[in-house]
Amino acid sequence: MPRSRTTEPDWPSSTSQNGEDIPSSLWKIAPIPGKGLGLIATRDITPGTLLLSEVPLLTTEGVTTIDLEVAETQLRKKFSSLSPSSQKVFMALYNNYPDDKPLSGIVRSNGYPLTVSRINHSCCPNVVQAWNPLVEKETVFAVRTIPAGTEICTAYHVGGPSSERQKILKTYFGFDCTCALCSLPEEKLKTSDERMIEAEELDEMIGDSKKVRFHADEVLACCHRLSKIYEEEGLKDDRLSRLYFDCFQVCNMHGDLARARVFARQYCSAKKMAAGDDCIAYLEMKPFVKNPQKHDSFGVTGKWKTRAESVPKGLGRIEFERWLWREEA
């Protein structure tokens, strides 16, 4: 839940599973031109649908270093305890680092269990992939409507204008991104890039604790603008829940329990859609929908003081939004 920024892709936390593809009536694995294998929706999929939930066969727990030589030895120990058929499946996974140590190369290239490893990247993903430690499974949930025949894509890296994203994807994953966002016609791509640059700036402002404390109105206005950018760009991944969490904290910090409740609820529904109602982030936040004052962030100032029960009822969408973002005249 806390704000954290990743400028480079994380060292993967788990990889490969019991050797069998998980059968599904919702998707199939198929060759995708220019990308190797990938997942294609075989029917229309609605947001919040669980597409995959996989148990890893081999995790990087106990891999204590990013030193490839040592990591390879540690991985080899784990690998040798797998059955021969699982070892074969593992070794058949995509390896973007064929000249490096083979096991860490595959772990770095895939990071996740078998079928999940086949999901390609898009800068505007239609699924969110996450490790759920409570059930010890890697999950994949749809966060946008995915029409039948469409490729299912996650985001290996998020944020920034297309040139920045492409540089990182090329460096760490070895491919030139031609996703729907990166392939927009020139004028539209320029608009999208400007929005993504603005999104980065807004995100930085929202994360500035001094601004949150002393210029809360400005910060909430930044949050509102950022929510519009995400809407315009069709982004529904974890960036959205992170934004709602920030909005929750700003309102709660200044004693605005009514808005804090609404943002806590929005955070919960975004998390539930992206990671299920058994994910830790959802479960931890749920009590604060009812009792935001129990959260650590509550009441640093009483600047915006409202009661939790004072969420207005019966407003139309536009009026409610104006209330929510404190834009009433």
Ligand X SMILES: C[S@@+](CC[C@H](N)C(=O)[O-])C[C@H]1O[C@@H](n2cnc3c(N)ncnc32)[C@H](O)[C@@H]1O
- Contacting positions for ligand X (CB under 6 A): 34-38, 94, 96, 109-110, 117-118, 120-121, 173-175, 177-179
- The DSSP call for residue 166 is H
Of the pair 237, 256, the CB lying nearest ligand X is at 237
Contacts of 329 (CB under 8 A, 6+ apart): none
Shortest distance in whole angstroms from residue 273 CB to ligand X = 23
Measured from the CB of residue 111, what is the shortest distance to ligand X in angstroms?
7
Under 8 Å between Cβ of 106 and 91: yes
Least distance from C-beta 172 to ligand X, angstroms?
Answer: 9
Of 97 and 320, which CB lies nearer to ligand X in the complex structure? 97
Rounded least distance, CB 203 to ligand X, Å: 24
Strand pairing of 151-154 and 120-121?
parallel
CB of 31 to ligand X, least distance (A): 8
Residue 59 or 293 having the CB closest to ligand X: 59
Q: Is 54 exposed, middle or buried (0-12, 13-18, 19+ CB in 10 A)?
A: buried
Smallest gap, in angstroms, from Cβ of residue 105 to ligand X? 11
Taking CB atoms, the residue at the shortest distance from ligand X is 36
Give whichever of 163 and 209 is closer to ligand X, judged by the CB atom.
163
Tell me the closest approach of the beta carbon of residue 261 to ligand X, in angstroms.
Answer: 39
In angstroms, give the least distance from the CB of 199 to ligand X. Answer: 21
Of 36 and 149, the one with the shorter C-beta distance to ligand X is 36
* Closer residue to ligand X in complex, CB, 9/47: 9
The secondary structure of 171-212 as a DSSP string is: HHH------TTTTS-HHHHHHHHHHHHHHHHHHHHHT-HHHH
What is the token pair recorded at 144?
A: 């946008």
For residues 100 and 208, which CB has a smaller minimum distance to ligand X in the complex?
100
Task: Please provide the size of the chain in residues.
Answer: 329
CA distance 61 to 211: 38
Burial group, residue 210, by CB count within 10 angstroms (0-12, 13-18, 19+)? exposed
- Which CB atom, from 16 or from 297, has the smaller least distance to ligand X? 16
Q: Phi first, then psi: what are they for 2, rounded to 5°?
A: -65, 155
Report residue 198: phi and psi, to 5°.
-60, -40
Q: Are 142 and 51 in contact (CB under 8 A)?
A: yes
Residues 94 and 24 sit within 8 Å (Cβ to Cβ): no
C-alpha distances out from residue 89 to 37, 95, 106, 257, Å: 15, 13, 11, 52
In the bound state with ligand X, the residue whose beta carbon lies nearer, of 109 and 266, is 109
**Interatomic CA distance for residues 44 and 66, integer angstroms:** 41
Shortest distance, position 56 Cβ to ligand X, whole Å: 14
